[in-house]
Amino acid sequence: MRFVQYYLDCLSQASYLIGDETTGQAVVVDPRRDVYEYIADAGRHGLTIIGIINTHFPSDFVAGHLELAHATGAWIGYGRRADYPIRPLTDGDRIVLGDMALQIMETPGHTPESISVLVYEHAADTTPYGVLTGDTLVIGDIARPDLVASFGVTADELARMLYHSIGRLMALPDAVRVFPAHGARGRSPKRSSTIGELSTTIAACLPVNEDDFVAHTEARRSSTPGYFVHDAALNRSVHDLLYVRLAALEIGDVLERQAQGALVLDARDPETFAAGHLRGSINVPADGRFAETSGIVADPDDEVLLVAPQDRESELRVRLGRVGFDHIAGYLRDPESAVSSSPTRSPARAA
């Protein structure tokens, strides 16, 4: 078995390539939208991606199932509660890849269609090697059951689903490894754990009655970025594929589009931005949680003009695409020279 975890620090998002090296068949679970790394890795190890499994409709990023299916011809699978014209995956379904196998476990609660994926290193094994829990169970915490409460189901209903799903996961053998789709909560750098460890370290996984569990999830609710609703809806639909190429724009084009309502997103470091920038632009530095922060200060429907650090415009376009920002009109060519000569430049103030 070949088992690879891919992790995006800037979005705290994990995805997986799982393949049988005897038959060369592989499945990708919870892919991000830029899918080139999965394809390259599969090819390098003699694997063919035949299937794509999304454990749920995410709201904090746009999944890459359409891009990966377009590139490979693989089938796309979701939990049976998904209103989506693709392969439904039902509790107990087994996907055999030569000597190894995957088995579906329905674990609704974070979303109605949420599933977990049991991974068996050998199809005849009685104890799974690990379980991919999506966002249902992460390292140090459980899922939020309120993020998609506007999609025909209440947060209370989701919390009660989640209670039973956590119970099912905690009933797995202690040695089963846990591989979530979301990064560790708090300060833990861990990207995997075991059922045994999580069953004793997460308060919500300890024995508790259903009403107390629901009250615990309600107490943890907090606000979310506006783009979450946009991404959740986008993931539920057939949408355009990620398009990476960007037009290089001169300062006059940028100013004209800005005057018509486009947003200038300046990703240079704060010191460079402070030295001079286009009036009305927003500074979100590229180094850090660029996409997530951009999703907080901008709207996915905005027409965006990038001011990028040198040779990083394509990277930033991909990162914006991961969170559903697809209206990127272009980037400013040679920003330092352009900004210094612009009549709408805002210079830094002397201290």
| Residue type (1 letter), 225 | P
In a domain, 106, yes or no: yes
Instruction: Please indicate, yes or no, whether residues 181 and 313 belong to a single structural domain of this protein.
Output: no
Mark whether 189 and 321 lie in a shared domain.
no
Q: Does residue 170 lie within any of the structural domains?
A: yes
Q: What is the pLDDT of residues 213-248, one digit of tens each?
A: 999 888 888 888 889 989 998 998 889 999 888 999
- Let me know if residue 243 belongs to a domain: no
Lowest mean pLDDT among 109-118, 159-168, 313-322, 339-348: 339-348
174 and 47 part of one domain: yes
Do both 310 and 168 map to the same domain? no
Has residue 242 been placed in a domain? Answer: no
In a domain, 241, yes or no: no
Please tell me the predicted confidence (pLDDT) of residue 343. Answer: 65
Residues 193 and 118 in one domain: yes
Q: Give 110-141 pLDDT, tens digit per residue.
A: 999 999 999 999 999 999 999 999 999 999 88
Predicted local confidence at residue 81, as pLDDT: 77
For the chain, what percent of residues have pLDDT higher than 70? 95
The range of the structural domain enclosing residue 322 comes to 248-347
Looking at residues 299-317, what average pLDDT do you find?
A: 95
Q: In angstroms, rounded to a whole number, what is the distance separating the alpha carbons of residues 273 and 281? A: 10
The pLDDT of 41-61, averaged and rounded, is: 96
Mean pLDDT of 313-342: 91
Question: Do residue 202 and residue 261 come from a single domain?
Answer: no
Instruction: State the pLDDT at residue 350.
Output: 31
Domain end among 235, 257, 280: 235
CATH of the domain at 96: 3.60.15.10
Residues 28 and 105 in one domain: yes
pLDDT band of residue 204 (cuts 50, 70, 90) is confident
Task: Mark whether 117 and 185 lie in a shared domain.
Answer: yes
Q: Are 224 and 288 within one domain?
A: no
pLDDT at 183: 84
Residue 131 shares a structural domain with residue 161: yes
Q: Which of 181, 201, 235 is the last residue of a domain?
A: 235
Residue 186 located in a structural domain: yes
Of the ranges 60-69, 193-202, 342-351, which one carries the lowest mean pLDDT score?
342-351
Confirm whether 303 is domain-assigned.
Answer: yes
Residue 349 has pLDDT above 60, yes or no: no
The total of structural domains in the chain comes to: 2
Of the residues 235, 269, 293, the one at which a domain ends: 235
For residue 82, the model assigns a pLDDT of 74
Q: Is residue 153 part of a domain?
A: yes
- Here the CATH number for the domain that contains residue 260 is 3.40.250.10
Same domain, 8 and 142: yes
Same domain? For 263 and 298 the reply is: yes
